[in-house]
């Protein structure tokens, strides 16, 4: 159930930037406002990066939900760890 909800939310989050990308691309194609060309291109790049980030998050989620993660606990000397970090 949680995976389905997450997938639906991500799909919704991807649709919005894709719609915006489509609109900017259509404006470029039709040359409606040539002086805004750079603005359209910048927005397309921003939204494309946003979609790319969402896809990576979705793939990470998918990978995490299919792999059996078990914690390997071990004793650690915190003092030594801090000294090493310093």
pLDDT of residue 49: 92
What is the chain written as a DSSP string?
-HHHHHHHHHHHHHHHHHHHHHHHHHHHHHTS-GGGHHHHHHHHHHHHHHHHHHHHHHHHHHHHHHS----------HHHHHHHH-
Instruction: Specify the pTM.
Output: 0.59
Mean pLDDT, the chain, whole residue set: 84
Contacts of 54 (CB under 8 A, 6+ apart): 10, 13, 14, 17
Quick: pLDDT tens for 27-49.
Answer: 888 877 778 888 889 999 999 99
pLDDT of residue 65: 67
* Positions in the chain short of pLDDT 50: none
């Amino acid at each position: 159930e949680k995976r389905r909800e997450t997938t639906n939310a991500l799909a919704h989050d991807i649709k919005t930037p894709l719609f915006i990308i489509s609109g900017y691309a259509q404006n470029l194609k039709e040359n409606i406002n040539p002086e805004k060309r750079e603005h359209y291109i910048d927005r397309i790049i921003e939204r494309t990066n946003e979609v790319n980030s969402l896809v990576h998050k979705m793939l990470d989620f998918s990978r995490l939900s299919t792999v059996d993660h078990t914690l390997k606990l071990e004793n650690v000397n915190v003092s030594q760890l801090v000294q090493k970090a310093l």
